[in-house]
Amino acid sequence: MSLAGHGRYPYSPIEDRSAGEWPGGRRLAVYIALNVEVFAFGEGLGAELAPGGPQPDVLNYAWRDYGNRVGVWRLLEEFYRLELPVTVLANAAAYDECPAVMEAFRRRGDEVVGHGRTNSERQGMLDEAGERALIAETTDVIAQAEGRRPQGWLGPWISQSRHTPDLLAEAGYGYLLDWCHDDQPVRMATRGGGGILSVPYPQELNDIPAVIARKVEGRAFAEMIVDGFDEQLAQATRQPLVFGIALHPYIVGQPHRLRPLRQALEHIAAHRDQVWLCHAGEIARHWTGSDS
């Protein structure tokens, strides 16, 4: 029996790979992925706190809007206090809808990753020309605002077509975050032959699958982060690993979830002498040996 495959990378057990190091001899690279997302009013996709009613679904739209108005600013205080770098996964429309948020992270020098136009749509539903246009539009908006092109990409809703890695490589992207199949970066084949790097992005330590889909509340989510961090720190004595946390301000920026999250972030920050706190793009550049 022959299974349909993607042809992007071969099977490789982590135990068979040669060991290496992150900068400074560290063995665990840690990054925080903060999703800055915006949503259309009265149409399109969006996470739901409660089952949505007819459009306009004010309950869920307003709940999501809280993230960019309040939640992100509370999180920003913690990132400053604990001196934690942040990888900002930004919808291009955020530059129009909540420009102060993007300006705040620009002042910190944080990396911006392309995250589509808005999270009201899935890019994998588009035809190839439409998806190419979405990538180009997102790239141009970020490049104009930030003064440099984004090097990394995460599709809205982790949505990819069969052509997405090819289109991203052709658009000049060096890495993507959509695949969660490993604890190390993995080189993926593309039709142009140049390839693109997959940097691990968390689907378990991610507040949407945990809190929204599995109904795990804030304190349990924070405990998951601490347990995952401690376990990977121990495992990293064998191979260099990547530990990521995916956060959404409208979820963990809620006060009752922020308090336990703060404790989890403090736990990670207390180990800064043992781990490499970095941006996702730094992981990609170090893994590929590039300084660009």
Residues 161-178 pLDDT 10s: 999 999 999 999 999 999
Reported as a single tens digit per residue, the pLDDT across 188-222 is 999 989 999 999 999 999 999 999 999 999 999 99
Number of neighbouring beta carbons within 10 Å of residue 48: 14
d(CA 181, CA 6): 13
Per-residue pLDDT band for 290 (boundaries 50, 70, 90) equals low
What pLDDT shows up at residue 18? Answer: 80
Strands 87-90 and 111-114: parallel
Residues 52-106 pLDDT 10s: 889 999 999 999 999 999 999 999 999 999 999 999 999 999 999 999 999 999 9
Q: How far apart are CA 31 and CA 7, in angstroms?
A: 28
Q: Fold for 20-40+56-288, please state it.
A: TIM Barrel (3.20.20)
Distance in angstroms (rounded) separating the CA atoms of residues 288 and 196: 10
Of 14 and 53, the one with more pLDDT: 14
Check whether 291 has a pLDDT greater than 60: no
pLDDT (mean) for 254-274: 98
- Report, as an integer, the average pLDDT of 104-131: 97
What are the residues whose beta carbons fall under 8 Å from the beta carbon of 53, sequence distance 6 or more?
59
Q: Could you tell me the two tokens for 146? A: 């930030």
Tell me which residue of 281, 290, 291 sits closest to 85, measured CA to CA. Answer: 281
128: tokens are 């190839």
Cα distances from 214 to residues 41, 50, 104, 247, 249, in angstroms, run 26, 13, 32, 15, 18
Q: Is the pLDDT of residue 292 over 80?
A: no
